[in-house]
Amino acid sequence: MALSRIRQYGDPALRMKAREVEDFDDDLLRLVERMTTLMHEAQGVGLAATQVGVLRRLFVYVDEDEDRVLLNPAIVTSSMETAAEDEGCLSLRGVLVPVERHIKVTLEGLDERGAAVRTEIEGPTARVVQHELDHLDGVLIIDRTDDESRRGALATLRPQPVLGAAAPR
Protein backbone atom coordinates (compact mmCIF):
# COMPACT_ATOMS: atom_id res chain seq x y z
CA MET A 1 0.00 0.00 0.00
CA ALA A 2 2.83 2.43 0.81
CA LEU A 3 4.25 2.21 -2.70
CA SER A 4 0.86 3.16 -4.12
CA ARG A 5 1.24 6.56 -2.40
CA ILE A 6 4.75 7.16 -3.72
CA ARG A 7 4.91 8.81 -7.14
CA GLN A 8 6.10 6.39 -9.82
CA TYR A 9 8.16 6.73 -12.97
CA GLY A 10 6.29 8.87 -15.46
CA ASP A 11 4.81 11.20 -12.85
CA PRO A 12 5.84 14.78 -13.72
CA ALA A 13 6.70 15.58 -10.08
CA LEU A 14 9.72 13.28 -10.32
CA ARG A 15 11.26 15.47 -13.02
CA MET A 16 10.61 18.82 -11.37
CA LYS A 17 13.12 20.84 -9.38
CA ALA A 18 11.95 21.41 -5.82
CA ARG A 19 11.78 24.86 -4.22
CA GLU A 20 13.38 25.74 -0.89
CA VAL A 21 11.43 25.22 2.29
CA GLU A 22 10.51 28.59 3.80
CA ASP A 23 7.73 27.83 6.26
CA PHE A 24 8.66 25.90 9.39
CA ASP A 25 5.21 25.21 10.76
CA ASP A 26 2.92 22.39 11.86
CA ASP A 27 2.17 21.50 8.24
CA LEU A 28 5.86 20.88 7.68
CA LEU A 29 6.12 18.72 10.81
CA ARG A 30 3.14 16.65 9.62
CA LEU A 31 4.74 16.25 6.19
CA VAL A 32 8.01 15.05 7.73
CA GLU A 33 6.12 12.59 9.94
CA ARG A 34 4.05 11.33 7.00
CA MET A 35 7.13 10.91 4.81
CA THR A 36 9.02 9.06 7.54
CA THR A 37 6.12 6.68 8.09
CA LEU A 38 5.72 6.13 4.37
CA MET A 39 9.46 5.47 3.95
CA HIS A 40 9.32 2.75 6.61
CA GLU A 41 6.08 1.24 5.27
CA ALA A 42 7.74 0.96 1.85
CA GLN A 43 10.85 -0.56 3.48
CA GLY A 44 12.99 2.26 2.12
CA VAL A 45 16.00 4.05 3.57
CA GLY A 46 15.23 7.47 2.11
CA LEU A 47 12.35 9.44 0.62
CA ALA A 48 12.34 12.86 -1.03
CA ALA A 49 9.37 15.24 -0.90
CA THR A 50 9.10 15.17 -4.69
CA GLN A 51 8.34 11.45 -4.44
CA VAL A 52 5.12 12.30 -2.62
CA GLY A 53 4.26 15.19 -4.93
CA VAL A 54 5.53 18.01 -2.72
CA LEU A 55 7.95 20.26 -4.58
CA ARG A 56 9.99 21.34 -1.57
CA ARG A 57 13.67 20.69 -0.88
CA LEU A 58 13.51 18.13 1.89
CA PHE A 59 14.10 14.45 2.37
CA VAL A 60 13.97 11.91 5.15
CA TYR A 61 16.45 9.06 5.55
CA VAL A 62 17.71 6.46 7.97
CA ASP A 63 21.24 6.83 9.39
CA GLU A 64 22.50 4.25 11.87
CA ASP A 65 18.91 3.15 12.65
CA GLU A 66 17.87 6.76 13.39
CA ASP A 67 15.33 8.67 11.33
CA ARG A 68 16.73 11.94 10.00
CA VAL A 69 15.40 14.85 7.98
CA LEU A 70 17.26 17.47 6.00
CA LEU A 71 15.68 20.58 4.50
CA ASN A 72 17.25 22.80 1.84
CA PRO A 73 20.22 20.41 1.67
CA ALA A 74 23.46 21.08 -0.16
CA ILE A 75 26.62 19.04 -0.50
CA VAL A 76 29.48 21.29 0.60
CA THR A 77 32.31 18.77 0.24
CA SER A 78 32.62 15.32 -1.25
CA SER A 79 35.37 12.74 -1.34
CA MET A 80 37.39 12.31 -4.49
CA GLU A 81 36.87 8.58 -4.11
CA THR A 82 33.73 7.19 -5.69
CA ALA A 83 32.20 3.75 -6.03
CA ALA A 84 29.67 2.27 -8.41
CA GLU A 85 27.01 0.13 -6.74
CA ASP A 86 23.56 -1.04 -7.68
CA GLU A 87 20.76 1.28 -6.59
CA GLY A 88 17.04 0.89 -6.53
CA CYS A 89 14.35 3.50 -6.02
CA LEU A 90 10.90 3.50 -4.48
CA SER A 91 9.70 5.46 -7.54
CA LEU A 92 11.13 2.99 -10.07
CA ARG A 93 9.73 -0.36 -9.01
CA GLY A 94 11.84 -3.34 -9.97
CA VAL A 95 14.77 -1.31 -11.31
CA LEU A 96 18.29 -1.86 -10.03
CA VAL A 97 21.12 -0.09 -11.87
CA PRO A 98 24.76 0.73 -11.11
CA VAL A 99 25.33 4.33 -10.06
CA GLU A 100 28.66 6.03 -9.32
CA ARG A 101 28.55 8.05 -6.07
CA HIS A 102 31.01 9.74 -3.72
CA ILE A 103 31.76 7.52 -0.75
CA LYS A 104 31.79 10.45 1.68
CA VAL A 105 29.91 13.77 1.65
CA THR A 106 29.41 16.72 3.95
CA LEU A 107 25.93 18.21 3.84
CA GLU A 108 24.53 21.46 5.14
CA GLY A 109 20.88 22.26 5.53
CA LEU A 110 18.21 22.76 8.15
CA ASP A 111 16.27 20.51 10.48
CA GLU A 112 12.47 20.53 10.66
CA ARG A 113 12.55 23.44 13.14
CA GLY A 114 14.78 25.60 10.94
CA ALA A 115 18.02 25.06 12.88
CA ALA A 116 21.24 24.79 10.87
CA VAL A 117 22.61 21.28 10.36
CA ARG A 118 26.02 20.20 9.10
CA THR A 119 26.69 16.49 8.87
CA GLU A 120 29.43 14.31 7.45
CA ILE A 121 28.17 11.03 6.04
CA GLU A 122 29.98 8.08 4.52
CA GLY A 123 29.31 4.58 3.30
CA PRO A 124 25.84 3.41 2.29
CA THR A 125 24.14 6.41 3.91
CA ALA A 126 26.25 8.78 1.77
CA ARG A 127 24.82 7.00 -1.25
CA VAL A 128 21.28 7.41 0.11
CA VAL A 129 21.54 11.17 0.69
CA GLN A 130 23.06 11.77 -2.75
CA HIS A 131 20.21 9.75 -4.27
CA GLU A 132 17.58 11.77 -2.38
CA LEU A 133 19.28 15.07 -3.23
CA ASP A 134 19.12 14.06 -6.90
CA HIS A 135 15.35 13.63 -6.54
CA LEU A 136 15.07 17.25 -5.40
CA ASP A 137 16.66 18.29 -8.69
CA GLY A 138 14.47 16.02 -10.84
CA VAL A 139 17.27 13.52 -11.42
CA LEU A 140 16.61 9.76 -11.31
CA ILE A 141 19.00 6.81 -11.06
CA ILE A 142 18.39 6.01 -14.71
CA ASP A 143 19.94 9.39 -15.51
CA ARG A 144 23.12 8.47 -13.64
CA THR A 145 23.73 4.97 -14.94
CA ASP A 146 25.45 3.66 -18.07
CA ASP A 147 23.61 3.50 -21.39
CA GLU A 148 23.16 -0.28 -21.39
CA SER A 149 21.70 -0.31 -17.87
CA ARG A 150 19.44 2.64 -18.72
CA ARG A 151 18.08 0.86 -21.80
CA GLY A 152 17.39 -2.26 -19.74
CA ALA A 153 15.64 -0.26 -17.03
CA LEU A 154 13.52 1.69 -19.51
CA ALA A 155 12.46 -1.56 -21.16
CA THR A 156 10.93 -2.69 -17.86
CA LEU A 157 9.42 0.64 -16.87
CA ARG A 158 6.14 2.06 -18.03
CA PRO A 159 5.05 5.49 -16.87
CA GLN A 160 2.81 4.82 -13.85
CA PRO A 161 1.49 7.99 -12.22
CA VAL A 162 -0.38 7.47 -8.99
CA LEU A 163 -4.08 7.08 -9.79
CA GLY A 164 -6.07 10.00 -8.50
CA ALA A 165 -2.94 11.81 -7.33
CA ALA A 166 -3.13 15.55 -6.93
CA ALA A 167 -0.94 17.78 -9.04
CA PRO A 168 2.51 18.44 -7.56
CA ARG A 169 2.52 21.36 -5.14
Q: So which residues are the catalytic ones?
A: 132
List the one residue out of 68, 132, 78 whose CA is nearest residue 106: 78
Measured between alpha carbons, how far is 51 from 147 in angstroms, rounded to an integer?
A: 24
Residue 56 is given by DSSP the state: B
Residue 169's nearest CA partner among 19, 15, 8, 25 is 19
Neighbours of 77 (CB within 10 A): 11
**Chain centroid, CA 116 distance in Å:** 20
* Length of the chain, in residues: 169
